[in-house]
Structure 1
Amino acid sequence: MAQVSTHPDIPRHGDPAILARLFGWCTLTVLAAFLINNVLVVGFGYPGTQAAFGGNAAAGWVHIAIYAVAIAIAAAIVMRSTTTSLRWDAHRIHCFNIYLIRALFWAVFLIGVADATIAFMRAENLLEPLLGSSNARLFSRPSWVGSWVHMPLIVIAFGIATVTRTLGFFWLAFLIVIAELLIVISRFVFSYEQALMGDLVRYWYAALFLFSSAYTLFDEGHVRVDVLYAGFGRSTRGIVNGIGTILLGMSTAWVILAVGFGGKQSIINAPISSFEISQAGPFGLYTKYQMAAFIGLFAITMLIQFVSYFFEAVADKRDEPGHREIMQPSAH
C-alpha cells in the first residue's frame, strides 16, 4: 500500500468550490465530534446530545457545543484558502486515510503475534513458571491484557506507520496464508490444535477485508454494475458519483456509526467497554472486542475516503485538471 506524498499533476489551487468543500470538511469534522462525544458517553458517563432538552441540559449542551466547534473548524479550513482545489483536498484526505489504515494494519499484526503468543502460553500453562502466579493471573484477565498489552502496541503501530510503508494488504494476506498453513500442518501432521490458531486467522481476515475497503474505493476496485455508466462523459460520471457517494456511500457509513456507537450498550461500544472475548475463553485470543471495533473503523475509513471521492467527483463535474485515469474492468 503506497502512500503518495507529492503529486505534481494535482493542482493546488483553482476556482472556488466553497459549498462542496464546506460539505466535505464538515462531514470530517462532525465525524471527529461524533467520536469525541462517544468517548464522553462511554468513558466518562456523559448523557448524550438528547439530554440538552431533558433533565441534564448542561451536560447535553457540551455535546452540542462540540459539534458547533467542529462545524466552525470546517468553515475555517475552507475560508482560509477559498481557491484550494478539490483534487488537492481529496489528495490530502486520502493520504491521511492511508496512513490511518497502514497504522491499523501494523496494530493488528503486532497484537495478533503478541496475543497469540500469550494465548499459547496460557494454554500450555507456561505463564506461571515463567512469570509467577500473580503475574500469570494478570495475563488471564482480558481487561488487563487489553489495557497493558494491546493499547501500547496500538500506540507503537501508529508510530511505526509514520516511518515505514512496508506492511500492507499483500503482507497481511500472506500472513493469513501462513497462519492457515500452520493450522493444517499442526492438525494433520502433529495432531495438535489450539483455539488461538483459528482466532488469529479470523482476526486477521476481518482486518484485511474491512480495512482494505477504503483503499479499494480509491483504486475503483469495487465491483460496479455498469449498465449506463461506461457511456457517460467525465462530467456526467462526476454527477453520478457525487450523488451516489452522498445517498449510498456516506449514508451507509453514518448508519453503521449511529447504530454501532448508539449508546453504552450498542453493538460496538458494549464489547469494547467490557473487553469481550470469544467462547474459547482463556485458550483463545483476547481480541473479540477489537473485531467489534473493526466495524466502526470500517465505517470511519470509508466515510473519510468517501469525502475524498466526493471531492474528485465534483472536480470531474467541473472538468478541473488533474483527473486520475484508472483502467478498471467493470461487471456488466
Structure 2
Amino acid sequence: MQRLADRLDLINHWTGMTVRWFALIMVLLQFAVVLLRYVFGFSSIALNESVLYLHAGLFMLGAGYTLLVDGHVRVDIFYAGAENRTKARIDAFGYTILAIPSMMALLYWTWPSVINSISMMEGAISVGGIPAVWLLKSLIPAFCILLIIQSVACLLRQIIALRDGVDDQGAQS
C-alpha cells in the first residue's frame, strides 16, 4: 500500500512542480499587460485572458499538490487537540466520505458540459480573446482526477497508520 501511495503522490508532485511556473509567468504577463496599457497605450483582450487561463491552471491543477503537501485550510475545532490516531480517523473519514465522493460527483455532473465544449472547440470568452474556452473547461475533470488520486494516496497512508497503530507521539507501536 505504501508503494502505491508513493506512486500516486508522484503524479501530483510532478504536476505541482510544473504548474508552479504558472505563477511566475502570470506575474510577468500581468506586468506586461499593465506596462503595455499605461505606458504604450496598447491593450489586448487575449493577453488579459492569458492571465486568467494561467490563474485557472495554477489553482485547478495545483490543488492535488496542495493536498500532497498538506497545504489545504483546515477547520480544526476538533482536529488540533486530537491524538494522532483520532487525526488519522478524521482524515480517513474526510477522504472517504467527503473528498472522493464530492470530486466524483463534480466529475460526473460536469463531464457532459466539458465533452460538449471540447467537441465543438468552444471559442473565446470575449471577442478578440483566446479561442479556447474548451481548454478552461478541461481543467474541471483534471482537477477532479488529480484530487481523487491524491485523496486515495492520503487515505492509503491513513489506513497504514491506523493498521500499524500510530501513538500520540507519531511513532508506530
Task: Report the equivalent of 1:10.
Answer: none
TM-score calculated relative to the size of structure 2: 0.89
Out of 120, 123, 126, the position equivalent to 1:280 is 126
Aligned to 1:271: 117
Equivalent position to 2:6, from 81, 85, 91: 91
C-alpha separation in 2, matches of 1:87 and 1:315: 8
Stretches of structure 1 lacking an aligned partner (at least 5 in a row): 1-85, 103-164, 326-332
**What fraction of aligned residue pairs are identical, expressed as a percent?**
26
Q: Considering only CA atoms, is the larger Rg found in Structure 1 or Structure 2?
A: 1
- Cα offset, 1:320, TM superposition: 6.0
- Aligned positions of 1:1-332 closer than 5 A: 86-99=1-14, 101=15, 167-169=18-20, 171-261=21-111, 266-281=112-127, 283-319=128-164
> Which deviates more from structure 2 when the two are superposed, residues 312-321 or residues 198-207?
312-321
Letter in 2 for 1:244: G
Residues of 1 paired with 2:139 and 2:36: CA distance? 29
Q: CA deviation at 1:256?
A: 0.9
Code of the aligned partner of 2:120: S
The CA deviation at 1:97 is: 3.5
Contact map agreement 1:203 1:287 (CA 8 A) in 2: no
SS at match of 2:137: helix
Deviation at 1:199, TM superposition (A): 1.2
Structure 1 residues 290 and 310: alpha-carbon distance in aligned structure 2, compared to 1, 3 A threshold: same
Whether the 8 Å CA contact 2:117–2:137 is kept in 1: the answer is: yes
Does the Cα contact within 8 Å between 1:234 and 1:317 map onto a contact in 2?
no
**TM superposition shift of 1:233:** 1.8
Deviations 1:252-278 (A, max 9, x none): 1101111012xxxx2211111111012
CA contact (8 A) 1:199 1:285 kept: yes
Find the aligned partners of 1:280 and 1:313 in 2 and give their Cα distance: 46
Q: Any conservation in 2 of the 1:186–1:193 contact (CA below 8 Å)?
A: yes
Distance 1:267 1:320 in 2: 45
Compute the displacement of 1:290 (Å): 0.6
Match for 2:149: what amino acid? Answer: I
The answer to whether the 8 Å contact 1:234/1:316 transfers is: no
SS in structure 1 at match of 2:164: coil
Structure 1 CA distance for aligned equivalents of residues 134 and 61 of structure 2: 16
Q: Displacement, 1:238?
A: 1.2
TM-score by length of 1: 0.48
The offset of 1:235, in angstroms, is 1.6
Q: Deviations over 1:72-128 (max 9, x none)?
A: xxxxxxxxxxxxxx32221111113434x26xxxxxxxxxxxxxxxxxxxxxxxxxx
Q: How far apart are residue 280 of structure 1 and its match?
A: 2.9
When residues 320 and 91 of structure 1 are mapped into structure 2, their CA distance, relative to the original with a 3 A threshold, is farther
The number of aligned residues is 167
Q: 1:212 to 1:236 in 2, by over 3 A?
A: same
